[in-house]
Structure 1
């Protein structure tokens, strides 16, 4: 697999080696040892999640202020624009974001470490999104930063439509008023 550190070096783009022919393809979607070597971490995953969303659905920017979750994310059907925002106040990249397109065709995965808010918007007619987490879901600690916070100025793709948001995501806070990590 190929691992590329992004502009925020703790966020890592992982591109597996895909073996394909006329019959289809095969790739190793996860290997703990290879993941640890690629990211320079020793995180263990405890939960797998799967979501399905229609075009224009925007989920995020989510995080847990306690029991923070690292997320290894990928798309198995469709395509998304995936975003990680550094919300660690002590970090030199606090308030900065990185993004990658993840799709069923490119097989890319994104490692979003604990201490980051995460979100995505669906680019295709539908997308199925899988992610592994390093801690369990704890709704009492879940927080949401506004996807359109002008201080973050995330360059979301123009979908030709307003994003479709849950009530929770529509009520996200600005980073300046959000609970952040030290």
Structure 2
């Protein structure tokens, strides 16, 4: 497993070893020791989601206030661009976004912490995303930013080879980043750091294996 921190502080890309044989492929996508070594905490799983998407669908940009949901996202069929936006006021990377291609060949995984915005762009028909979420869905704590907000600077149309993004009514009518910030809806970075220190905190077991089979640091 290779790990890379993204441009959004605290968000990571995990690239597993994909092992092919005459039956297909095998890949290990998650292990407790990896989260402990990279994040310094466990990733509690309270809910598992999937979406099946037409080509050119854009979902997001969605975020939760605290405590909120951390998410582990991969693509098990098709291909998509996963977009992570730093929506934490006071973060050193506030307003920054990063983009990772997720597909059923490389089987990369993206981890985004609580308080960070998230969106996807489906690059193929029937693209199937798979999410592990650290907390259950709370409709009263779910917010969105218009994905085409110029302040975000995300080139969704470029990702889709010039096609117009297919949006839900909710995303099409979502407010801008500036508007949600002025309404005080964005989480504060310092409060997010406290959540990261406490939610999922666990003592390290001596036998907890890290990415190369080593004890987790």
TM-score by length of 1: 0.95
C-alpha distance in structure 1 between counterparts of 2:8 and 2:167, whole Å: 27
Q: Larger % of strand: which?
A: 1
Q: Is the 8 A contact 1:12 1:39 kept in 2?
A: no
RMSD (Å) for aligned C-alpha atoms: 1.3
**Alpha carbons 1:61, 1:144 under 8 Å: kept:** yes
1:39-50 paired onto structure 2 within 5 Å: 39-50=39-50
CA distance in 2, matches of 1:118, 1:95: 12
Whether the 8 Å CA contact 2:45–2:133 is kept in 1: the answer is yes
SS of the residue 2:128 aligns to: strand
Greater CA drift, 97-106 or 33-42? 33-42
Deviation per CA, 1:37-85, whole angstroms, max 9, x where unpaired? 1333333121110110100111001112244111000000000011011
Residue 16 of structure 2 is matched in structure 1 by 16
Equivalence for 1:181: 187
Q: Relative to total residues, which structure has the larger helix share, 1 or 2?
A: 2
TM-score for both structures, normalised by structure 2: 0.80
Name the larger-Rg structure: 2
SS of the residue aligned with 2:118? strand
Q: Which runs of 5+ in 1 are unaligned?
A: none
| Pairs within 5 Å for 1:80-99 | 80-99=80-99
- Between the aligned partners of 2:7 and 2:52, the Cα distance in structure 1 is 29
Q: Does 1:130 align with 2:139?
A: no
2:66–2:187 Cα contact (<8 Å) kept? no
CA contact (8 A) 2:76 2:128 kept: yes
Partner residue of 2:52?
52
Aligned residues: 182
Indicate the larger mover: 17-26 or 110-119.
17-26
